Amino acid sequence: MTGMVLLAAIAALMPGCSQFVLLGLLLGGPPTVEPDFDAETGLSLKGKDITVAVVCYAPTELKWNFPKIDAEVSSAVAYRLAEHGINVILPDYVRAWVDENPDWERADEIGRAFEVDYVIELELASFGLYEENSTTLFRGRTEAYINVYEMDDVGDGERIFSKEIDFAFPTRVPRSTYDQTPISFKREYLSRLSEKIGFLFYERFSGDMMPWAS
């Protein structure tokens, strides 16, 4: 008996609502969650003719402990979006432009330089890797503002989407520093942070964040 036939047989033996839920999963797969950006703007960053640039701003005091955090976060998010079919300007190109233009102030300056359709601006307010008041427990935390600017034909940008995030990982239980190196945890945390931000712009399954508990 194939896996599909076996599951269908199990569903037939289940009562009421449970039966319909399982059959729904069999036929259509797990339920998906619409991206906040799409839901709030009626637009989408996906499309073969749509290009996006990602830039991150971190305040000076934050870069004392994490000197490259702006580049690390923007790169992680850009690559995550690219994995999900969004056409993103290579992070190295954006970083090179930022290095050459250290006095930039508005995200649409980057949009104009790269002639993109949208600019995702990530403004970091805080970033850390340890549980509060602890040096032996890992729990990454980021407070950030996510803004999207839509560029027009003459190179001016209008902010059309804003979202504040306060993201902690692991979400339920901190992790002992004896189980993982700081470098390894930081890499994992940036990966999860990029997913959390990415979920604003592409569909996800409703259970995708369940493994993030510990």
Write down the mean pLDDT value for the chain: 90
More confident residue, 8 or 160: 160
The DSSP code sequence of 97-139 is: HHHH-TT---HHHHHHHHT-SEEEEEEEEEEEEE-TT-SSEEE
Average the pLDDT over each of 2-6, 41-45, 126-130, 193-197 and give the range with the smallest value.
Answer: 2-6
**pLDDT above 70 for 77:** yes
- How far apart are alpha carbons 11 and 5 in whole angstroms? 10
pTM for the full model? 0.86
pLDDT tens for 184-197 read: 999 999 999 999 99
Residue 26 pLDDT > 80, yes or no? no
Q: What is the pLDDT of residues 40-74, one digit of tens each?
A: 999 999 999 999 999 999 999 999 999 999 999 99
Which pLDDT band, with edges at 50, 70 and 90, does 29 fall under? low
The domains located in the chain, with CATH, are: 1-30 (no CATH), 32-213 (3.40.50)
- Cα 169 from Cα 173, distance rounded (Å): 8
- Separation CA 109–CA 10 (nearest Å): 58
- Radius of gyration, alpha carbons of the chain: 20
**In this predicted structure, what is the pLDDT of residue 133?**
93
